[in-house]
Homo-oligomer: A and B are copies of this chain.
Amino acid sequence: MKNNDSPAIQKLIELFSQFPTIGPRTAGRFVFHLLKAPKQEIDNLVAAIINLRSRVRLCEFCFNPFEPSPDKGQENKLCEICSNPLRQKSLLCITASETDLNSIEKTKKYKGIYFILGGTVSALKKTDLEKLRINELESRIKNRPEIQEIILAMSATTEGEATGLYLERFLKPFNKKITRLGRGLPVGGELEYADEETISSALEARK
Protein backbone atom coordinates (compact mmCIF):
# COMPACT_ATOMS: atom_id res chain seq x y z
CA MET A 1 0.00 0.00 0.00
CA LYS A 2 1.54 3.22 -1.14
CA ASN A 3 0.57 6.31 0.75
CA ASN A 4 1.53 9.80 -0.26
CA ASP A 5 5.17 8.88 -0.39
CA SER A 6 5.55 9.58 3.32
CA PRO A 7 8.84 7.93 4.31
CA ALA A 8 7.70 7.60 7.93
CA ILE A 9 4.59 5.68 6.88
CA GLN A 10 6.51 3.60 4.34
CA LYS A 11 9.17 2.65 6.89
CA LEU A 12 6.66 1.43 9.45
CA ILE A 13 4.66 -0.50 6.84
CA GLU A 14 7.91 -2.18 5.86
CA LEU A 15 8.74 -3.13 9.45
CA PHE A 16 5.25 -4.47 10.23
CA SER A 17 5.43 -6.48 6.99
CA GLN A 18 8.19 -8.50 8.62
CA PHE A 19 5.85 -9.67 11.35
CA PRO A 20 4.72 -13.28 10.89
CA THR A 21 1.67 -13.70 8.58
CA ILE A 22 1.52 -9.93 7.83
CA GLY A 23 1.64 -8.55 4.29
CA PRO A 24 1.86 -4.92 3.16
CA ARG A 25 -1.91 -4.44 3.09
CA THR A 26 -2.43 -5.41 6.72
CA ALA A 27 0.75 -3.57 7.69
CA GLY A 28 -0.82 -0.47 6.14
CA ARG A 29 -3.94 -0.94 8.23
CA PHE A 30 -1.76 -1.18 11.35
CA VAL A 31 -0.16 2.16 10.48
CA PHE A 32 -3.54 3.88 9.92
CA HIS A 33 -4.68 2.40 13.21
CA LEU A 34 -1.68 3.95 14.97
CA LEU A 35 -2.16 7.30 13.21
CA LYS A 36 -5.65 7.53 14.63
CA ALA A 37 -4.89 6.05 18.05
CA PRO A 38 -4.69 8.35 21.09
CA LYS A 39 -1.17 9.36 22.07
CA GLN A 40 -1.47 7.31 25.28
CA GLU A 41 -1.96 4.09 23.26
CA ILE A 42 1.17 4.76 21.21
CA ASP A 43 3.15 5.48 24.34
CA ASN A 44 1.87 2.24 25.88
CA LEU A 45 2.84 0.26 22.82
CA VAL A 46 6.34 1.71 22.67
CA ALA A 47 6.79 1.13 26.42
CA ALA A 48 5.54 -2.46 26.15
CA ILE A 49 7.93 -3.29 23.30
CA ILE A 50 10.89 -1.82 25.21
CA ASN A 51 9.74 -3.59 28.36
CA LEU A 52 9.50 -6.92 26.58
CA ARG A 53 13.15 -6.90 25.70
CA SER A 54 14.37 -5.59 29.04
CA ARG A 55 12.22 -7.77 31.30
CA VAL A 56 11.73 -11.02 29.43
CA ARG A 57 14.60 -13.46 29.12
CA LEU A 58 14.90 -16.96 27.74
CA CYS A 59 15.08 -19.83 30.26
CA GLU A 60 18.63 -21.10 30.58
CA PHE A 61 17.46 -24.68 30.32
CA CYS A 62 14.52 -24.83 27.91
CA PHE A 63 14.67 -21.43 26.11
CA ASN A 64 11.07 -20.66 27.00
CA PRO A 65 10.70 -16.89 27.40
CA PHE A 66 9.81 -15.82 30.93
CA GLU A 67 9.90 -12.79 33.15
CA PRO A 68 12.05 -13.27 36.24
CA SER A 69 10.26 -12.04 39.32
CA PRO A 70 12.38 -9.43 41.12
CA ASP A 71 12.02 -11.11 44.52
CA LYS A 72 13.57 -14.39 43.45
CA GLY A 73 17.27 -14.98 43.54
CA GLN A 74 19.09 -17.76 41.78
CA GLU A 75 16.02 -19.37 40.16
CA ASN A 76 15.74 -16.28 38.03
CA LYS A 77 17.62 -18.08 35.31
CA LEU A 78 14.98 -20.78 34.91
CA CYS A 79 11.40 -20.38 33.71
CA GLU A 80 8.49 -21.30 35.93
CA ILE A 81 8.15 -24.75 34.41
CA CYS A 82 11.83 -25.64 34.83
CA SER A 83 11.95 -24.22 38.37
CA ASN A 84 8.75 -25.96 39.46
CA PRO A 85 9.73 -28.78 41.86
CA LEU A 86 6.57 -30.69 40.95
CA ARG A 87 7.51 -31.16 37.28
CA GLN A 88 9.13 -34.51 36.48
CA LYS A 89 12.75 -33.95 35.54
CA SER A 90 12.95 -37.44 34.03
CA LEU A 91 10.68 -36.54 31.13
CA LEU A 92 11.89 -34.14 28.42
CA CYS A 93 9.62 -32.91 25.65
CA ILE A 94 11.31 -31.32 22.63
CA THR A 95 9.16 -28.82 20.72
CA ALA A 96 9.98 -26.79 17.65
CA SER A 97 8.71 -23.47 19.05
CA GLU A 98 7.32 -21.62 22.06
CA THR A 99 3.90 -21.83 20.43
CA ASP A 100 4.05 -25.63 20.33
CA LEU A 101 5.19 -25.69 23.97
CA ASN A 102 2.17 -23.56 24.87
CA SER A 103 -0.17 -25.86 22.91
CA ILE A 104 1.03 -28.80 25.00
CA GLU A 105 0.94 -26.87 28.29
CA LYS A 106 -2.67 -25.93 27.66
CA THR A 107 -3.71 -29.59 27.78
CA LYS A 108 -2.54 -29.66 31.44
CA LYS A 109 -1.71 -33.32 30.88
CA TYR A 110 2.05 -33.08 30.56
CA LYS A 111 4.04 -33.07 33.80
CA GLY A 112 7.63 -33.13 32.52
CA ILE A 113 9.94 -30.39 31.30
CA TYR A 114 10.63 -29.00 27.83
CA PHE A 115 13.33 -27.99 25.41
CA ILE A 116 12.58 -25.55 22.58
CA LEU A 117 14.58 -26.50 19.51
CA GLY A 118 14.01 -23.16 17.83
CA GLY A 119 12.91 -24.42 14.42
CA THR A 120 12.40 -27.34 12.09
CA VAL A 121 14.35 -28.67 9.13
CA SER A 122 12.85 -29.73 5.84
CA ALA A 123 15.83 -31.39 4.26
CA LEU A 124 18.93 -31.99 6.30
CA LYS A 125 20.73 -28.93 4.95
CA LYS A 126 23.67 -27.74 7.02
CA THR A 127 22.42 -24.14 7.04
CA ASP A 128 19.02 -25.22 8.35
CA LEU A 129 20.52 -27.47 10.97
CA GLU A 130 22.67 -24.66 12.28
CA LYS A 131 19.57 -22.72 13.24
CA LEU A 132 18.47 -25.48 15.61
CA ARG A 133 19.72 -25.52 19.21
CA ILE A 134 21.34 -28.90 18.74
CA ASN A 135 24.50 -28.21 20.75
CA GLU A 136 22.43 -26.84 23.60
CA LEU A 137 20.22 -29.93 23.46
CA GLU A 138 23.26 -32.16 23.63
CA SER A 139 24.65 -30.40 26.68
CA ARG A 140 21.25 -30.50 28.45
CA ILE A 141 21.01 -34.26 27.97
CA LYS A 142 24.61 -34.84 29.06
CA ASN A 143 24.15 -32.74 32.19
CA ARG A 144 20.88 -34.29 33.18
CA PRO A 145 21.36 -38.03 33.65
CA GLU A 146 17.94 -38.13 35.34
CA ILE A 147 16.26 -37.77 31.92
CA GLN A 148 14.73 -41.14 31.02
CA GLU A 149 12.31 -40.40 28.19
CA ILE A 150 12.58 -37.84 25.41
CA ILE A 151 9.35 -36.99 23.59
CA LEU A 152 9.84 -35.62 20.08
CA ALA A 153 6.69 -33.44 19.98
CA MET A 154 6.83 -32.43 16.34
CA SER A 155 3.91 -31.55 14.06
CA ALA A 156 2.84 -34.34 11.69
CA THR A 157 4.00 -32.28 8.72
CA THR A 158 6.83 -33.13 6.31
CA GLU A 159 9.09 -30.73 8.19
CA GLY A 160 8.05 -32.08 11.58
CA GLU A 161 8.73 -35.64 10.38
CA ALA A 162 12.15 -34.71 8.99
CA THR A 163 13.07 -32.94 12.21
CA GLY A 164 11.90 -35.91 14.27
CA LEU A 165 13.96 -38.32 12.17
CA TYR A 166 17.01 -36.11 12.51
CA LEU A 167 16.59 -35.85 16.29
CA GLU A 168 16.04 -39.58 16.61
CA ARG A 169 19.35 -40.29 14.90
CA PHE A 170 21.13 -37.56 16.82
CA LEU A 171 19.83 -38.75 20.20
CA LYS A 172 20.46 -42.46 19.63
CA PRO A 173 23.92 -42.50 21.27
CA PHE A 174 22.46 -41.18 24.53
CA ASN A 175 20.50 -44.37 25.12
CA LYS A 176 17.31 -42.75 26.30
CA LYS A 177 13.79 -43.93 25.60
CA ILE A 178 12.64 -41.85 22.61
CA THR A 179 8.95 -41.44 21.80
CA ARG A 180 6.81 -39.51 19.34
CA LEU A 181 3.28 -38.17 19.52
CA GLY A 182 0.61 -40.70 18.53
CA ARG A 183 -0.98 -40.50 15.11
CA GLY A 184 -4.64 -41.07 14.46
CA LEU A 185 -7.97 -39.38 13.87
CA PRO A 186 -8.03 -35.89 15.40
CA VAL A 187 -11.08 -34.73 17.35
CA GLY A 188 -13.78 -34.02 14.77
CA GLY A 189 -11.99 -36.08 12.12
CA GLU A 190 -14.14 -38.06 9.69
CA LEU A 191 -13.07 -41.43 8.36
CA GLU A 192 -14.38 -40.51 4.94
CA TYR A 193 -11.98 -37.59 4.56
CA ALA A 194 -8.98 -39.04 6.39
CA ASP A 195 -5.95 -40.07 4.33
CA GLU A 196 -4.79 -43.68 4.22
CA GLU A 197 -1.78 -43.12 6.43
CA THR A 198 -3.87 -41.55 9.18
CA ILE A 199 -6.39 -44.42 9.05
CA SER A 200 -3.56 -46.96 9.10
CA SER A 201 -2.11 -45.28 12.20
CA ALA A 202 -5.52 -45.09 13.83
CA LEU A 203 -6.11 -48.80 13.18
CA GLU A 204 -2.72 -49.75 14.54
CA ALA A 205 -3.16 -47.54 17.60
CA ARG A 206 -6.62 -48.89 18.39
CA LYS A 207 -7.30 -49.61 22.00
A interface vs B, CB < 8 Å? 1-9, 11-12, 15, 18-21, 26, 28-35, 39, 41-42, 44-46, 48-53, 55-56, 58, 64-67, 79-81, 95-100, 102-104, 106-107, 109-110, 151, 153-157, 160, 179-192, 194-207
Residue pair B188, A157 in contact (C-beta under 8 Å)? yes
Contact of A181 among B9, B34, B185 (CB under 8 A): B185
- Alpha-carbon separation in the docked complex, A12 to B52 (Å): 8
A199 in contact with B103 (CB, 8 Å): yes
Q: Which of B29, B49, B151, B192 is A103 in contact with, Cβ under 8 Å? A: B192
Give CA–CA (A201, B34) in the complex, Å. Answer: 32
Pick from A20, A32, A98 the residue with the most CB of B within 10 Å. Answer: A98
Given A155-B185, A185-B155, A186-B195, the answer on whether A21 and B26 have CB atoms closer than 8 Å is yes
A80 to B3, CA, bound (A): 10
